[in-house]
Amino acid sequence: MDEKNSINSVNIQDKNFESLYQDNINLYNLRLTSREKIIFKLVIEGFLNKEIALKLKLSVKTVEKYVNRLLKKTGTKSRYELICLVSESFQFNN
């Protein structure tokens, strides 16, 4: 499965996530790659690294690297903080 098909399989076009990402200047300024956006979305939906790896046909190690990049780019230290960041951003935009 190529990247385009894997993007479609996880429905990255989810309007809530896309509007949150595009409308929030802090998240938008992160300049996430398309793959990072997909993994970001799955992390905030509560998927574990192993589940994300299976869903996207990646190794768990690769997913871990992406998650670590997301934490670094957002300045968060854990998945919990990442989810809180998104939750706070969503509240301010609605």
Q: At 81, list the tokens.
A: 């903080």
Q: What is the DSSP letter of 26?
A: H
Can you tell me which residue has the tokens 């509007």? 19
Task: Report how many domains make up the chain.
Answer: 1
What CATH number does residue 80 fall under?
3.40.50.2300
State the pLDDT at residue 37.
Answer: 87
State the pLDDT at residue 84.
Answer: 85
pLDDT tens, N- to C-terminus, the chain (94 residues):
444 444 444 444 455 555 555 555 456 667 888 899 899 989 988 999 999 999 999 999 999 999 999 999 888 999 999 888 877 665 544 4
Looking at this protein, which amino acid is placed at residue 58? L
State the pLDDT at residue 74.
Answer: 87
Q: How far apart are the first and last CA of the chain?
A: 36
Range of the domain at 71: 3-93
* pTM of the complete model: 0.69
Q: At 23, list the tokens.
A: 């409308």
